[in-house]
Amino acid sequence: MKRLTIPAIRQRKKDGVTTQPVVMLTAYTARQAQLLDAHCDLLLVGDSLGQVIYGLPSSVPVTLDMMAAHGAAVVRGSYHAAVVVDMPFGSYEASPQAAFESASRLLKETGCAAVKLEGGEAMAETVAFLTARGIPVMGHVGLTPQAVNVLGGYNARGRSEAEAAKIVGDAKALADAGAFAIVIEGVVEPIAIAITQAVPCPTIGIGASAQCDGQVLVTEDMLGMFERVPRFVKIYENIAETISGAAARYADEVRSRAFPGIEQTYQPK
């Protein structure tokens, strides 16, 4: 199976129409990537790994080293989907040159096909700079979690007219700069629809709209790993119960000496 390419993803949307929606899920580990790969067009090594697997309070403390290690694992575990790695906070905002240094490191060390960064108009120059130098960029607008300290929380964006216009302008600026796709996160639905109609590249929604050109979820969220998830998450399976149930049965069997049984022990001939 040949890996999907970034131009192939970009071409899913032709003349404003997407007949085959783009399927994206997050992956942080090789085994997770193996299980998701065949079903997805894109695997995102999201900086959400900060909260999801490192227990950090936000994605702000996530480092380039963490993204490089998990990105490499996901590339090793996948064959079909194109792998996109998030640029962590602090690794790209200062200048296009700083962004290129960080992004090229991610491409070299992980084998990923593209990077994603947060922000709109302020990042447009950087998106153009990277794209012109061989690094495809996915944009991310609306609720941008790395900006939590400026936004003051994770509430849906675009409820005022001014904020809505700003987010649409951000998405257009990224598209003009050459972003191959744009994640739209946590915005009121009419904004997601307006952006999807306004930009030539695919939009990928999360807490956005079914009319986006694709969708993404954090895999652990949709697997029911957490007690509290945002309203935009649909829980497809309750893995937390499965895991804690298995741990409870194992603990019982260790305490009652029912495990290991004869099948799990080596006996002399």
Positions annotated as catalytic residues are 185
Query: Which span (44-52, 159-167, 168-176, 219-227) binds Na ion, by CB under 5 A?
Result: 44-52
Residue 168 binds which entry of ligand KIV, Na ion, none, with Cβ cut-offs from 5 to 8 Å by kind? none
Give the H/E segment covering residue 189. Answer: helix 189-198
Task: Report the chain's terminal Cα–Cα distance, integer Å.
Answer: 45
Residue 220 labelled as part of a binding site: no
Residues 66-105 that bind Na ion (CB under 5 A): 86
C-alpha dist (Å) from residue 96 to 73, 93, 135, 145 = 27, 8, 12, 21
Nearer to ligand KIV, 170 or 185 (CB): 185
How far apart are the C-alpha atoms of 46 and 52, rounded to whole Å? 10
By a kind-dependent CB cut-off of 5 to 8 A, residue 218 interacts, out of ligand KIV, Na ion, none, with ligand KIV
Does position 185 interact with Na ion (CB under 5 A)? The reply is: no
- Residue sitting closest to ligand KIV (CB): 46
Task: Summarize the chain as % helix, strand, coil (round to 5).
Answer: 45, 15, 40
Residues that bind ligand KIV (CB under 6 A): 26, 44, 46-48, 86, 183, 185, 206, 216, 218
Our CA angle for 223, 226, 231, nearest 5°, is: 85
46 counts as binding Na ion under rule CB under 5 A = yes
Minimum separation from the CB atom of position 185 to ligand KIV (A): 6
* The length of the chain, given as a count of residues: 269
26 binds, among Na ion, ligand KIV, none (CB under 5 to 8 A by kind): ligand KIV
Angle formed by the axes of helices 96-110 and 64-76, nearest 10°: 40
Q: Does 47 bind Na ion (CB under 5 A)?
A: yes
Question: Is residue 163 marked as binding?
Answer: no
Q: Are 192 and 33 in contact (CB under 8 A)?
A: no
Closer CB to Na ion, residue 47 or residue 213? 47
Strand duo 214-217 + 17-18: pairing: unpaired
- Token pair of 48 as six digits: 């959400």
Shortest reach from residue 183's CB to ligand KIV, in Å: 5
Give which of Na ion, ligand KIV, none residue 37 binds (C-beta under 5 to 8 Å, depending on kind).
none
Q: Which residues are annotated as a binding site for 3-methyl-2-oxobutanoate?
A: 47-48, 86, 116
Q: Which residues are annotated as a binding site for Mg(2+)?
A: 47, 86, 118
